Amino acid sequence: MNGLKKIFKSVSCPALFPTPYSLFPGCLDTVRSVAAETFRESVKNRFFTIFAVFAACAIYASLLVGVMAVDEEARVLSDLGLGLMELMTLAYALFHAAMAIPREVETKTIYLVFSRPVSRPAYLLGKASGLYLLSAFMLSVMAAIHLSLMALRGFPPGLVYFHILACIWLKVIIITSLALFISLFSTSPVSTMVISGIIWTLGHFTPEARFLVEKTAGFSGRLLKGAAWLIPDLQLYNLRDAPLAAAPGVWFQFAYAALWALGSYGAAVLLFKKKEF
């Protein structure tokens, strides 16, 4: 209820003079309040403790596996740890993206929120921002654990390590944005997570899929070409398997993720406005 009070306090925008608040359909204070409440609820959730403990154990297990790989200990420890961090962050972010709005509909909280002049675009932007902040927080915590273990083994990371972390976060942002959109028309949170998981998997094979589609002729080929562009190319962020020289620039990676996030947000706003709350 404290979070709702903060949201209600933030819905009034200055009307006498033009301000940045009045340029948006909802106040920036509302976005900030919803984002903070979403992040707070996610961290306080009992599942967060389970994920945190499991993530710490999994990252520690990567240390044991690395020790067994005598000649490639540094690479195994780094790759396995980063892979586990990506999967854990993705799983927890998807869980909350799939539950964010359906849970509030089920508990009738959303009806209380929209009984006040709260902008729906601002509400959705706050939800998405809170989920982005959650994934960044989880990655930071796990990275601190992973870096500590690597330092104990005498393997200081290079700058590419932090580039890979940024790429993991951008991938999670893309999939989380899509999951938030899918949750608005999906029949259940489970189906949202399944569909998002399929998109995440296909996204790592987008170049291969597009190559095969180019070989397909006729109407089915044109249909498949259109469908292929609806899947984000997550291979752009897979620096662990690609040579660093062949990797796209950082700004391109950020711009690509921003386009997918904005596109998903725009589609979610259009769909959310049709909902009766």
The model's pLDDT over 172-181, given as tens digits with 9 standing for 90+, comes to 999 999 999 9
HSE toward the beta carbon, residue 260, CA cutoff 13 A? 24
| Contacts with 117 (C-beta within 8 Å, 6 or more apart), sequence order | 11, 12
Query: What would the mean pLDDT of 40-64 be, rounded to a whole number?
Result: 71
Residue 239, Cβ density class (10 Å: 0-12 exposed, 13-18 middle, ≥19 buried): buried
The conformation of residue 249, written as its DSSP 8-state character, comes to: P
Please give the distance of CA 193 from its chain centroid, rounded to a whole number. 12
The model's pLDDT over 67-76, given as tens digits with 9 standing for 90+, comes to 666 567 777 7
| Contacts with 11 (C-beta within 8 Å, 6 or more apart), sequence order | 26, 27, 29, 30, 116, 117, 118, 119
The conformation of residue 158, written as its DSSP 8-state character, comes to: -
**In which element (H, E) is residue 254 found?**
helix 250-272
Which two three-digit tokens encode residue 219?
């109407």
Query: How many other C-beta atoms lie within 10 A of the C-beta of residue 225?
Result: 13
pLDDT at position 240 is 64
Please give the distance of CA 65 from its chain centroid, rounded to a whole number. 28
Question: Which residue has better confidence, 25 or 213?
Answer: 213
| Contacts with 214 (C-beta within 8 Å, 6 or more apart), sequence order | 225
Tell me if 232 sits within 8 A of 206, measured CB to CB: yes
One-letter amino acid for residue 4 of the chain: L
pLDDT at position 28 is 78
Question: Taking Cα atoms as reference points, which of 123, 122, 168 lies closest to residue 143?
Answer: 168
Query: What would the mean pLDDT of 238-256 be, rounded to a whole number?
Result: 71
Tell me if 273 sits within 8 A of 120, measured CB to CB: yes
Q: Which of 147-156, 168-177, 181-190 has the lowest mean pLDDT?
A: 147-156
Query: At 17, phi and psi to the nearest 5?
Result: -125, 145
Query: What would the mean pLDDT of 100-127 be, rounded to a whole number?
Result: 86
Q: Most confidently modeled of 95-109, 141-155, 162-176? A: 162-176
pLDDT at 51 over 50: yes
